[in-house]
C-alpha cells in the first residue's frame, strides 16, 4: 500500500494526483493512517475524494492572514458530524465519527513518529558492512 502512495508522490508533479485525493500537508496523515491501519487503497481514495477533499477546500478557504483556531481539521470534522446528527443522517454521522477517530489515531501516530525520529528530516547513519 505504501508503494502506491510513493508512486502517487512521484507522479504528483505530472497529474496532481495527491491534490485530487486531498493529500495536502494538513491532511496527508489521515489517508496514510488509513492505509497503515490496513484499509483498502480504493476505499481510502473514495473516502478522500468524498470527504477529505471538501475538508481540504474548507481549510484552504480560510483567510490565512487572520488566525482562526476554529478552522482545523478536527473542528471541521466535528461540525460536519454535528450537522449530520441534526439532520438525522446516522450513516453520515457514523462516517464523520469514524473519520474523527482515524484523525485522532493519525495524530497519535505523528507523535510516535516524532518520538522515534521517523520521517523527521533527521540524518540516518549508514550501516557499515564488511
Residue range 78-114, pLDDT digits in tens: 999 999 999 999 999 999 999 999 999 988 888 887 7
Report if residue 73 sits inside a domain: yes
| Percent residues over pLDDT 70 in the chain | 62
Report if residue 110 sits inside a domain: yes
pLDDT at 66 over 70: no
pLDDT at 50 over 60: yes
Give the number of domains in the chain.
Answer: 1
pTM confidence score: 0.68
- Tell me the average pLDDT across 49-58: 82
C-alpha cell at 119: 520521517
> Band of the pLDDT at 129, cuts 50, 70, 90?
low
pLDDT at 48 over 60: yes
Count other Cβ atoms within 10 Å, centred on residue 33: 20
Report if residue 127 sits inside a domain: no
Full residue range of the structural domain in which residue 32 is found = 2-115
Amino acid at each position: 500500500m505504501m508503494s502506491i502512495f510513493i508512486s502517487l508522490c512521484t507522479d504528483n508533479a505530472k497529474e496532481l494526483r495527491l491534490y485530487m485525493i486531498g493529500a495536502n500537508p494538513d491532511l496527508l496523515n489521515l489517508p496514510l493512517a488509513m492505509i497503515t491501519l490496513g484499509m483498502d487503497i480504493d476505499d481510502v481514495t473514495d473516502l478522500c475524494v468524498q470527504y477529505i477533499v471538501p475538508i481540504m477546500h474548507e481549510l484552504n478557504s480560510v483567510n490565512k492572514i487572520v488566525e482562526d483556531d476554529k478552522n482545523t481539521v478536527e473542528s471541521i470534522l466535528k461540525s460536519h458530524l454535528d450537522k449530520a446528527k441534526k439532520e438525522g443522517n446516522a450513516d453520515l454521522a457514523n462516517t464523520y465519527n469514524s473519520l474523527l477517530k482515524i484523525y485522532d489515531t493519525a495524530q497519535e501516530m505523528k507523535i510516535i513518529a516524532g518520538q522515534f525520529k521517523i520521517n523527521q528530516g533527521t540524518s540516518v547513519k549508514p550501516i557499515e558492512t564488511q
